[in-house]
Amino acid sequence: MEHPFNILKVLKAYNVNAEPVCTVGGVHVYVVDGAKFRPRQALSEDLETIVDTAGRLSMLAQGLGAQITTLAKTARAKTRIYLAFREPSTVIGMLKVGPKTLFVYDSFGQVHEEDNMPSVLDFYVHESTQRQGIGHLLYTQMLRRESLEPADMGYDRPSDKFKAFLARHCKLVTFTPQAHNFVVFEDRWVPYAKRQCVSREELCSSRATDERERQRAAEAERERLREEAEARERAEREAERERAEKEARAREVEKAMSSVHDTPSTPEPARQDPESFNDVQWRLNQNTVRMMRDMASFSVLGSSRVSYDRYRNQK
């Protein structure tokens, strides 16, 4: 949203009605407080152009039938508008908050009269700067300056993008639909439910979280026991298989040993062809070896006998 003037100079010129909130990464956040406008005070044309242009773009982006954010309405209703812009003349976001008196149903069907409940009435970030942290910056700075928690506020016809934003950044999900289309999340009723001793875990996020944690822990314990049982079964099957293999090997060894002991020794086969030259030579060699063995035996015995006779003669 480009403007033909310096936005920072316009806001500083109306410092009674506009206050700086913060400056982060070249993005300035200012708040325009409608409560500080005097009755019948002349409105700045430049400031009115800034606010009205942002309100018109918000109306078109949300598909609303009428524009809900203008400087004139802000001055009359005593609401506050948080503007995010980059120097010198680019408005990139807008957030409008103010008090609302509402009758709100909780999930029990009980009606609560909320007097001057702080509410987000309009929220818009330019399409060219979405998903860059501009909306988060606006929202967190508003909460800090207003000293509020996200669940303490009501939200006027939040868009699907705004609901997703609240679910992602603030963990606000559960709410009861209202006839006036305001969204008040169930987390707002948690203190009230505790005072009234209402035992509904879905109202208390901490109890719901504890229950989920207990369920996850129980599931993890069951999974651990199941894995241990499967591991024991695998170990028993493995041990049984090893015992069977050892017994099979032992039986095979025993069978092999018994076959070795029971097998008769095979005699050396007789030579079938004694007429060959090699056989004759082999037989001669065998006879020669036998004769030499006999002669050696006789010579030993003869020498022993001679020695014995000589010994007797000496005696």
Is the Cβ–Cβ distance between 75 and 67 less than 8 Å? Answer: no
Question: Which residues neighbour 48 within 8 Å (Cβ) at sequence distance 6 or greater?
Answer: 70, 71, 72
Q: Binding site: residue ranges?
A: 123-136
Highest mean pLDDT (candidates 1-15, 32-46, 120-134):
120-134
What gap in Å lies between CA 75 and CA 94, rounded to an integer? 16
The token duo for 197 is 């001793």
Within 10 angstroms of residue 298's Cβ, the number of other Cβ atoms is 9
Q: What is the pLDDT of residues 83-108, one digit of tens each?
A: 998 888 889 999 999 999 989 888 88
**pLDDT at position 267, please?**
55
83: Cα separation from own chain's centroid: 36
Q: What is the pTM of this model?
A: 0.58
Q: Binding site for acetyl-CoA: residue ranges?
A: 123-136
**pLDDT at position 32, please?**
87
Share of the chain above pLDDT 70, in %: 74
**pLDDT at position 121, please?**
92
Residue 298 has pLDDT above 50, yes or no: yes
Share of the chain above pLDDT 90, in %: 19
Question: Which residues neighbour 96 within 8 Å (Cβ) at sequence distance 6 or greater?
Answer: 68, 69, 74, 79, 80, 81, 82, 120, 121, 122, 123
Q: What is the pLDDT of residues 178-187, one digit of tens each?
A: 888 899 988 8
Q: What is the pLDDT of residues 5-39, one digit of tens each?
A: 788 788 877 765 677 888 888 888 988 888 777 76
**pLDDT at position 81, please?**
92
Domains and CATH numbers, the chain: 7-170 (3.40.630.30)
DSSP string, 211-268: HHHHHHHHHHHHHHHHHHHHHHHHHHHHHHHHHHHHHHHHHHHHHHHHHHHHSPPPPP
